[in-house]
Amino acid sequence: MTLILRGRRFGFSLEDIRQWLLLYDQKGTREQNLVWIELADRQLAELARQRDELDATMTDLAALRDQTKAEMTR
């Protein structure tokens, strides 16, 4: 259960978590570890993309807020 919750926290899909559990149940061979590293790299890239989108959205919202606030004081 801990692995499933950790997988969800990391943003993995249910299919990715299923694959992760299959790898976890087996003692890690080199090939299994390479698959895991590939899954982790893919998810890290997706999380970085989401973070960049969120940063841009927050910047846009703050600018709009500041513009509105400035217009109110005129």
Radius of gyration of the chain (CA): 20
pLDDT at 23 over 80: no
Largest CA distance in the chain: 68
Confidence class of residue 27 from pLDDT cuts 50, 70 and 90? low
- pTM (whole model) above 0.75: no
The answer, yes or no, to whether residue 1 has pLDDT greater than 80, is no
Is the model more confident about 51 or about 27? 51
Asked if 39 contacts 12 with a C-beta cutoff of 8 angstroms, the reply is yes
- Return the closest-CA partner of residue 18 out of 2, 4, 32: 4
Structural domain boundaries of the chain?
Answer: 2-72
